[in-house]
Chains A and B, each alone.
Chain A
Amino acid sequence: MAYPFAHPREVRIVSKHFGDAGARPVDGWVERGGYRAARKALPEMTRDQVIATVEASGLRGRGGAGFPTGLKWKFMPKDDGKPHYLVVNADESEPGTFKDREILRWTPHQLLEGAIIGAYAIRAEHIYIYIRGEFVDVIPVLRRAVVEAYERGFLGEDVLGTGLRIECTIHVGAGAYIAGEETGMLSSLEGRRAEPRMKPPFPAQAGLFGMPTTVNNVESLAAVPHILVNGADWYRQWGTEQSPGTKLFSCCGHLRRPGNYEVAMDFNLKDLVFDLCGGPRPGRRLRAVIPGGSSVPVLTADEIDCPVSYEGLVQAGSMVGSGGLIAMDDSACLVRAVRRMVEFYAHESCGQCTQCREGTAWAARILRRIEEGEGRDSDIPLLLDISENMAGKTICVLSDSAAAPIVSSIQKFEDEYWAHIRRRSCTAVS
């Protein structure tokens, strides 16, 4: 896959070298300015300075929750004498999301550099990269990069001659979406089923093998070297007060130019869809946009004139999530789309929590029945009540994630449901 053009309205920081195979090997990366941040951070900056810079930049976690990265690092204990771990969340499995894969595919050293800096900041002696098992073409690229980093002394016993030891292990996932949830990931790394755990204790208190641990998304870490080299203020020139910097949006669905686009975080969602992605296919009308992966509420075509910032999307009634934008035009049946998503969650629920295990599967069955023209009038209030019973009551938020598209699609596309239930038809235009 190549990136023949960058749209002029993009701000390509993390994605600058997408499509540039020369950036992949360590030499190519160094030629392009790579490992400058690591060289700067490790001997020159104290850990607290690194954390302070990242905190000042306002970088927020790009894995979905949007928690400030610097603050997360700050939560790690200081003189506890225990081993610390950095876990890189490269399990990217959220439907509609394919940005981390591209970071790893084109610029594996960008991630490694961020991870090395992160490990230094949080006193981690070991980095575990948990990569999605289906990324069969990316895994060897990352493996190669880790070997190179060891060879060049960016990893190993004596990182950059500082005497610090940072090891790195790649762990290949076995195909469970729930392993992407941070505590599920820790369970999986420990050799158990990828079952999320109750928080508290938070990973910073008791994470991998019971030790203080930070879990960071690939995109979050990939932004760190740029922030350290250029400074927090430089990063803050984009975006808003609460959502500084840039964000990758993986845009898919009924678009003329689907793909990854990196934009400033105050960029307009409608422009992203219509200008960068080229809008719906010829002769089609845009119907719905899910801006942040299948776990966030759906927006109607009328609701997308808003910034893609964390606060902007919340105000519009949705969330940034992972930045997996799914566009649907008037050929899309919302009931079918939501049924498909809920089936995904039913399939991927780890099965611990009753509400999630049973609720996802039950809702999926109801949705399928509606889609097939066997719906009942009572199904809509029932779906809403099931969703309410599923949300906010479970160990992790997968259950909430399954409820979100149900609730938002009923709120915004109720006609669609009634067409199926009352007329056994569909409002989608074929």
Chain B
Amino acid sequence: MTQPAAELVTVTIDGIAVQVPKAMTVIQAAEEAGIVIPRYCYHPAMSSPAQCRMCLVEVKGAPKLVPSCVQRVQDGMEVRTDSPAARKARRAVIEFLLVNHPLDCPICDAAGQCELQDYAFETGQLRTRSVDPKRVLGRDHVTPDVLYFADRCVLCTRCVRFMEEIAREPTLVVVQRGDRATIDTMAGELFEHPFSMNIVDVCPVGALVNEDFLFKPRAWDLDRFPSVCPGCAQGCNITLDTKENRVVRAKPRPHPEVNAFWMCDHGRKLLAGWVPGGERGERLEAPQIRDGDRLVAVSWPQALERAAEGLRQAGGPGRAIVSAAAANESLYALRKVMQALGFAGGAFRVPTGPTAVLEGFPKLQLRAERVPNAVGAALLGFRRSADLFADLRGRRGALLVLGDPLHDAPADFGRDAAFYLYAGSVASPAARNAHVLLPVTTFAEMDGTFTNFEGRVQRFTQALTPPGMARPAWVALSALSSRMGSGAMLDSAAEAFAALAAEFEPFRGMTYETLGFGGRITEAAEGAAAVTSGGK
């Protein structure tokens, strides 16, 4: 992060000396020293109004406590965050904040992840000395999805600044003065913005809450998994918060290049309440094989045996349809099956929708391409098709489908194929025409990688337990291909990716370890991005 050319200065924070660039503020330098100075109004992506006065620290030689969010470091500066004066000031801010705060933690969505609660406990300030009645302001919607609980607001203005500086649509304002001040919408009307729900994330307390989440899970009941949003080609880094094997919400996970601290509402809405069954509840839970008109549930070995045999008999040249929402590893495993049959090619389609740019961080866009891995599919040799089903018409031989749910396929889809293998998580009518159906996991139930619009390969991790017998496609398909003499049985996503990287030039040299959770950009990225940027 720190540029080698930047001039370094040495500052001492609570006795810990750190060397930091001269342009840094004390609050940032403290983080380098491993000290998180409590703060409300400060947010690393936005301007600092220095108004909550929570981050006051003692700087040797300064007559008063200084706000560390705006104070720049100087060489030789000695800062104390733990001096009696700094501690007292912090305790006082907490006490002041609690004077009017309703302390309705038991019914507050933020409880357990609240910066007021945390700091109150940290400063040992569990009650106020106030015996007087609190002022009551009430609650109201600010967007159709977001509720504002005015009494819980600490007036840090992060939400206001998000709309002003990041969304660049100043729809939120502070109205009134003194302790009557609240946040309100500009015209007093609800506003809508494709990135509006980030205001819930920036809110340090439970003042802005997602109505969808309201009163549902408690924060401490949630499990959190690093993931990547499948909503579009952007590939926002996210965390999936789950409870009882359901995704209850997605939150952005900071990535300086891809999505900063943000994600779009489309992605959140897609993932909130995401159930393994998909919205149609027709989840494939067991392998099935065709017996005349009927499909019969069988064990994995039986299904794979039947598939291997059927494909061998059908022979090449076959056809393949893949989903651009499938992981690189799964696509690779299908490629190995195709290699066993001696054919290449394969096609995918890219559903599109309107775009939205986050003006204050324009790298982040809800991309027109509403799938996460079109670039990955292209780099692995699959071809984008505008009319998938027309392209296939009148061709015989083996038919392989991976991931595309085929909801809109013609009723007789695949009937003309010599052998039709469907590997997916949903059993649509067109999928039911297959000779063998393999139940595979969704992205949330597996480890894997997507390659985003700029060719950045990013890892996601398993957040949910798959239903029934569903397995990651790369497990199922590598088992199949190894039976057919092409490639090895893959035991982990890391191994699958390593095999992929060894074989496909653009991924060469990458491993799960080198990818980490920041991802890496493929060398062929530019070309591939050009291929898939049609809808931009």
Contact = CB atoms under 8 A, between A and B. Distances in A.
A369 interface: yes
A309 interface: no
Interface size of A as a range: 20 to 34
B179 interface: yes
Interface of A: 176, 178, 193, 198, 346-355, 357-362, 365-366, 369, 376, 378, 382, 389, 392-395
Given A355-B93, A358-B99, A389-B88, A178 B177 contact: yes
B498 interface: no
A361 B65 contact: no
A359 B93 CA distance: 9
Nearest to A352: B51
Interface in B88-107: 88-89, 92-93, 95-97, 99-100
Given A353-B53, A369-B132, A395-B51, A347 B177 contact: yes
Contacts of B177: 176, 178, 347-351
A312 B88 CA distance: 33
Contacts of A354: 40, 51-54, 93, 96-97, 154-155
B96 A359 contact: yes
B56 A393 contact: yes
B176 interface: yes
Given A365-B132, A393-B53, A351 B178 contact: yes
Chain A contact residues: over half helix, strand or loop, or mixed? Answer: helix
A174 to B, nearest CB: 12
B39 to A, nearest CB: 12
B49 interface: yes
A362 B132 contact: yes
Contacts of A378: 129
7 contacts: A354-B51, A354-B154, A355-B96, A365-B132, A369-B132, A378-B129, A392-B65
B33 interface: no
Interface of B: 40, 49-54, 56, 64-65, 67, 70, 88-89, 92-93, 95-97, 99-100, 129-133, 135, 154-155, 173-174, 176-181
A363 to B, nearest CB: 10
Nearest to B94: A354
B96 A395 contact: no
Nearest to B88: A389
Contacts of B53: 353-355, 393-394
Contacts of A358: 96-97, 99-100, 179
Contacts of A395: 50-51
Given A353-B51, A360-B179, A389-B88, 12 more contacts: A176-B177, A198-B70, A346-B178, A350-B181, A351-B179, A352-B51, A354-B40, A355-B53, A362-B130, A378-B129, A393-B65, A393-B89
Nearest to A381: B129
Contacts of A376: 131
A15 to B, nearest CB: 33
Nearest to B91: A389
A219 B283 CA distance: 80
Instruction: List 6 A-B pairs, minimum CB-CB distance, nearest first.
Output: A351-B181, A389-B92, A358-B96, A352-B51, A361-B179, A365-B132
